Structure 1
Amino acid sequence: MTQNIAIVGAGISGLTAGRNLTQKHNVTIFDKSRGVGGRMSTRYSELYEFDHGAQYFTAKDERFKMILSSETFEDVIKPWDSRAFYKKENDLIPDTGGFRYVSYPRMNSFAKKLSKGLNISLNSNVSSIHKDKEKWVLETADGRVYRDFDLVILALPNQQAISLMPIETNYFKKVKEVEMDPCFALMIGLKKKYDFGWDSLRLNNNINSWLAVNSSKPERSTDQTALVIHSAVEWSKKNKSGDITWVQDQMEAAASKTCGIDISEAHHKVIHRWMFASVSKPSSEGCFYDPSLKIATCGDWCNGGRVEGAYISGLMVAKIIEGLV
């Protein structure tokens, strides 16, 4: 039977679920942002571009490997053959953490390809959902109302999903137990092309945990240096509600020591606060579904984190729904 399905969230999980369900059902995807992809995102300026969310992704699950190598997606996926290191005290140690992929030509290109042909309502911040005569009703923060959905999928970070789902949802407590952590992303544009001796660097620094030369990724502009810096988890948690200017100053000072240049003098500087960037206490459920309420939830945090986990979670929730509705 054809169902009217609402998906809240146009990240990788939501798009994957929508792509698989739209073949048999009427699917509408809502997202508060002006573009798709969630943390698979790219920020632009006049001279620079920054993948300020997900930096790269790996592929271990055969289902994810299959989609990456398919004819549909092979033109938007490229390996990132980077000079990857982690810093231990004063030594640079090669980071051999596995084969890295990036989306091409921008990090959100994979999400855009996933979204092709889907019915997506952007700039739609769903602020509440409720049942009316067995049908779901969605309301947005600006007062728009969408009715007559048979089923709702919340493809959101767990805290955002909890804020929308009824407390009587049979998996409510399990979702609440998941812990997601914040992160600050500092985007630095340098007019000069620098060679730091690495393209990506992991740190045990108290402030910064990751630096990457975004311009080292395939087909990115290499005329200047675009540097992405991510803050350390514990420091981010401590300062997540702090003054953003102070946060930026601290990250710049730490990065200056690492890079050997004065980051504060950079031509372009922007900081972004991700409130739900990574998963410190993930679920292993894969996804969640309450057949009595006809509400489901998916996301990377349901499946160990990471881009691959997000894709598999969206795929799983679609398969479960297809077997039940």
Structure 2
Amino acid sequence: MTQTIAIIGAGMAGLSAAHALQQAGLPVQLFDKSRGSGGRISSKRSEIGALDLGAPGFLAQDPAFLTALADWASAGSCAAWTAIDGPQPYWVGTPRMSAISRALLGDLPTTFSCRISEVFRGERHWQLLDTAGASHGPFSHVIVALPAPQAGVLLTAAPALAARAASVVMEPVWAVALGFAEAQPGAQHSLRFDDEILQQATHDSAKPGRDNRLDSWVLHATADWTRQHLDLPKEAVIDRLAHAFAERLGRRLPPAQFALAHRWLYAYPARRTDWGALGDQQQGLFACGDWCLDGTVEGAWRSGARAAQLLLASL
């Protein structure tokens, strides 16, 4: 008999795996160190409204992912951002990116604000230990759905999986949100740059369903610049990225009425892989995440679904 399955990480990959297993009739228990779900598709609540500091949006190609996307859209959890030109629709969560993770989370049992520090196997079942010293279990299987460097630490019971995770380099990214009293004239809603400092700028308040009080933009620094300035004070990061943004627009920006900075230590993998997901089916230990594929939101969802498939095939 299959006992509850532990899933560590309530981002897109972990939620995808949990949803697939729940649909197969299996009990799951999610754990996440944050106060809410989503990972890089979470949203930051602020005095000017919700801000998408992680993935600004995403594309969809995989047929299964498109089917899931249609369900989310019909439920009002996401929409195509029609102001963005391109050969494919550019999707965003509505009224914020975290709406997608909330829809996936549903009534799945989840323990938030719980950082798992150890995953170990007894004679028959898995146990988890958190940083507060509390034990969780028993579990028949464990899926680790965390960024590769964090996943590797929890995969030591399966050395081959731990080595795979340890081989993945994750890139850091500084994100800065700026809020202006008036809209910036002439600026496109989504800008990408070939620049040493600034990687992209997204007109966050222009996304469908937003009700931000100010004209808000989210800027992402390049991984190289972030790596060189990991410990730069947030105020200095805001100044540097705002200055770079003004230079790329070719004009002086008005004073920002609101600004904040957030550092993503593990924003995306440096290189894509084709693993799909990792698994030791004999022991019942699995890993998934965008780093198992191409670093995209769709890749994270596909990886979680693949981890669930591997687990189900082992029963």
Whether TM-score is above 0.5 comes out as: yes
Contact 2:49 2:212 in 1 (8 A): no
Please provide the CA RMSD for this pair: 1.8
Which residue does the alignment assign to 1:59? 60
Which residue does the alignment assign to 2:265? 275
Is 2:269 aligned against 1:289?
no
Which residue does the alignment assign to 2:191? 201
Which residue does the alignment assign to 1:19? 19
Distance 1:120 1:290, change over 3 A: same
Counterpart mapping for 1:30-179 below 5 A: 30-70=31-71, 74-83=75-84, 96=86, 98-166=88-156, 168-179=158-169
SS in 2 for 1:113: helix
Contact 1:178 1:282 in 2 (8 A): no
Which residue does the alignment assign to 1:324? 314
Contact 1:49 1:226 in 2 (8 A): no
- Distance (Å, rounded) in 1 between the aligned partners of 2:94 and 2:52: 11
* CA positional deviation for 1:261: 3.1
Which residue does the alignment assign to 1:262? 253
Contact 2:152 2:161 in 1 (8 A): no
Q: Structure 2: which 5+ runs fail to align?
A: none
In terms of mean alpha carbon deviation, does 98-107 or 216-225 score higher?
A: 216-225
Write the letter of the residue equivalent to 1:283. T
- Distance (Å, rounded) in 2 between the aligned partners of 1:283 and 1:174: 11
SS in 1 for 2:33: coil
Contact 2:151 2:162 in 1 (8 A): no
* CA positional deviation for 1:275: 0.5
- Distance (Å, rounded) in 2 between the aligned partners of 1:71 and 1:171: 32
Distance 1:261 1:220, change over 3 A: farther
Distance 1:58 1:216, change over 3 A: same
Contact 1:179 1:282 in 2 (8 A): no
Write the letter of the residue equivalent to 2:133. G
Residues 179-223 of structure 1 show CA distances to partners (whole Å, capped at 9, x for unaligned) of 210001101111223333311110112111101111110011265
Is 2:210 aligned against 1:210?
no
Aligned residues: 313
SS in 2 for 1:281: coil
Distance 1:203 1:148, change over 3 A: same
SS in 1 for 2:195: coil
- Distance (Å, rounded) in 2 between the aligned partners of 1:196 and 1:227: 14
Write the letter of the residue equivalent to 1:40. I
- Distance (Å, rounded) in 2 between the aligned partners of 1:135 and 1:166: 16
- Distance (Å, rounded) in 2 between the aligned partners of 1:114 and 1:203: 33
In terms of mean alpha carbon deviation, does 114-123 or 213-222 score higher?
A: 213-222
Write the letter of the residue equivalent to 1:262. L
SS in 1 for 2:185: coil
Distance 1:179 1:18, change over 3 A: same
Distance 1:297 1:204, change over 3 A: same
- Distance (Å, rounded) in 1 between the aligned partners of 2:256 and 2:297: 31
SS in 1 for 2:92: strand
- Distance (Å, rounded) in 1 between the aligned partners of 2:176 and 2:187: 20
In terms of mean alpha carbon deviation, does 247-256 or 184-193 score higher?
A: 247-256
Q: Structure 1: which 5+ runs fail to align?
A: 85-95
- Distance (Å, rounded) in 2 between the aligned partners of 1:322 and 1:83: 39
Is 2:210 aligned against 1:220?
yes
Residues 252-280 of structure 1 show CA distances to partners (whole Å, capped at 9, x for unaligned) of 221222342336x3111100000011121
Residues 122-157 of structure 1 show CA distances to partners (whole Å, capped at 9, x for unaligned) of 111111121222321111112221121111100000
* CA positional deviation for 1:176: 1.7
- Distance (Å, rounded) in 2 between the aligned partners of 1:219 and 1:124: 32
SS in 2 for 1:246: helix
Residues 88-118 of structure 1 show CA distances to partners (whole Å, capped at 9, x for unaligned) of xxxxxxxx46320111111010110000021
Which residue does the alignment assign to 2:8? 8
* CA positional deviation for 1:320: 1.4
SS in 2 for 1:69: helix
Contact 1:73 1:113 in 2 (8 A): no
SS in 2 for 1:75: coil
- Distance (Å, rounded) in 2 between the aligned partners of 1:17 and 1:65: 16
Contact 1:283 1:304 in 2 (8 A): yes
* CA positional deviation for 1:234: 1.3
Contact 1:4 1:27 in 2 (8 A): yes
Q: Percent identity?
A: 30
